[in-house]
Amino acid sequence: MRIASRRHFIKVGAGAAVAFIGARGREAQAAGQAITSIPVGATDLILSSNENPMGPGAHVLDAVRGALGSSGHGAGRYFFGQQAELNENLGKAVGGTKENIIVGAGSSEILRVAADVFTTSKYGVLTPEPTFGTAPGFAATLGRPVTRIGLDAKLRVDLEKMESVIDDIGLVYLCNPNNPTATTWPGTDLRASILRMLERNPHTTILVDEAYHEYVTDPEHETMVPLALENPSVIVARTFSKAYGMAGLRVGYGVSHPDAIKKMSDWRGMDMFTSVPGRLGALAALAHPDHVALEVRRNEALRQKTREFFQELGFEGTESQANFVYIDIRRSNEAFIKACRERGVRIGSGSKLYPTHARVTIGTEVEMERAFEVFDSILEEA
């Protein structure tokens, strides 16, 4: 029934979609809710890119429309008017100042800048594997050495092993929680490991990618932002693409000590790649932390439900701290991905290192119901 109504909705087209979102936003606001439900434009379920399926919320969309000219938002006229404001508000949000912030077109831009600035042809990137590939990938494109270290038995980043090869490393990339395995390290352990790495090699820089930070519910998790604010050898990357639901608007940022921020800014130059609507959207998103809190709760409940679904079928996954699960389906992930695709469900690309693990992004409840049916039928067949 729900599925049917969603299908019906997709048919009505883009113009109606906008009207729907607007109306839905007001409705949700009236009901005291901050989250709006946004349908996907494609007929396939997209559970492949760790996007927030609910979207950014009415406040962000209103701000984006403001950039297009709705009344009261003249700011859309001035390309750089909001840049200082965004840096300032981000600085405040992380407990620092604008000097601690570098904004980019997605955190990818920050990862790339760091991968270039902090490595040389001799001192390359140290990365876990598998992990999010942008930083090591760009370093490789630039001809910088890349040292890859496998995960531990619990599919966590193998901090101990990484520490042991720190000597000739320019940049250490740590994704916490790690993509695609959804695992985290407790704050105490991660901080201690970072400090040991810096002690052994004071010339290295540690880049902690906290793209999924907002989704973590483990009370032992800690952001490395406080460490980054005071230590120019530690950089934290954050994004509006995940819990904030703004992947399409391309805004991310880096947090560090002003010395490291200056180093990256000098090399990169001013932010030329983020858009006016993206920046206005980010400002609006920052002003509504309650919306992210709701999204985190929504995700946590469905994440649990998704893990239980697989457990009932006898498949275990890691203890996910992100908006996706990593499940051992005990068969070729390649074949599973293909079979899902054929049934209209796109899931994450599998790692060759874990050929029987599948990564599934947490969609909406309706989407997951449909996905479960598909997963069920495929896993039953084999």
Partner 1 sequence: MPLTRRGFLSGSSSEPSLAALSAMISARGHEEALASGRPLKPAANDVIRINGNENPLGPGSRAIEAVLGVLGQANRYPFNSAPGDPDLTRQLASFFDADPAEVVVGAGSSEILRNAVRLFAVDGKHIVTANPSYGSPVTESKKLGLECRQVPVDADMRLDLEAMESEARGAGFVYVCNPNNPTATVHPPEAIESFIATIRGRAPEALILIDEAYHDYVTDPSHRSMIPLALTEPNVVVARTFSKAYGMAGLRLGVGIGHKDAIAKLRRHKLSANANVLAIAAATASLADPDHISRERARNLEARDFTRAFFDKFGFDSTDSQTNFLFVELGRPAKDFREASAKRGVVVARDFPPMEKTHCRISIGTMEEMKRACDAFADVLGGAA
Q: Which residues bind partner 1 (CB under 8 A)?
A: 14-15, 17-18, 20-21, 38-42, 46, 48-49, 51-56, 60-61, 64-65, 67-71, 74-81, 83-84, 105-106, 108-109, 112, 134, 141, 241, 245-250, 266-267, 269-270, 272-278, 281
Nearer to partner 1, 121 or 377 (CB): 121
Instruction: Kindly state the smallest distance separating residue 22's Cβ from partner 1, in Å.
Output: 9
Instruction: Kindly state the smallest distance separating residue 53's Cβ from partner 1, in Å.
Output: 7
Nearer to partner 1, 81 or 226 (CB): 81
Instruction: Kindly state the smallest distance separating residue 219's Cβ from partner 1, in Å.
Output: 28
Instruction: Kindly state the smallest distance separating residue 78's Cβ from partner 1, in Å.
Output: 5
DSSP string for 177-221: SPTTT-----HHHHHHHHHHHHHH-TT-EEEEE-TTGGG---TT-
Residue 118 and residue 267: Cα distance in Å, rounded?
A: 11
Q: How many CB atoms lie within 10 A of CB 122?
A: 9
**Could you give the C-alpha distances from 304 to 229, 315, 318, 367, in angstroms and in order?**
34, 14, 12, 15
The answer, yes or no, to whether the previous bond of 219 is cis (omega within 30 of 0) is: no
- Which of helix, strand or coil describes residue 54? coil
Nearer to partner 1, 53 or 317 (CB): 53
Nearer to partner 1, 234 or 249 (CB): 249
- Phi-psi group of 149: left, alpha or beta (phi > 0 → left; psi -120 to 50 → alpha; rest → beta): beta
* Of 110, 93, 49, 83, residue with least CA distance to 245: 49
* Of 272, 217, 224, 219, residue with least CA distance to 250: 272
Nearer to partner 1, 25 or 317 (CB): 25
Instruction: Kindly state the smallest distance separating residue 88's Cβ from partner 1, in Å.
Output: 11
Instruction: Kindly state the smallest distance separating residue 71's Cβ from partner 1, in Å.
Output: 7
Instruction: Kindly state the smallest distance separating residue 283's Cβ from partner 1, in Å.
Output: 14
**Could you give the C-alpha distances from 288 to 108, 251, 282, 295, 323, in angstroms and in order?**
24, 16, 10, 12, 20
Nearer to partner 1, 219 or 269 (CB): 269
Residue 222 and residue 191: Cα distance in Å, rounded?
A: 9
Nearer to partner 1, 33 or 37 (CB): 37
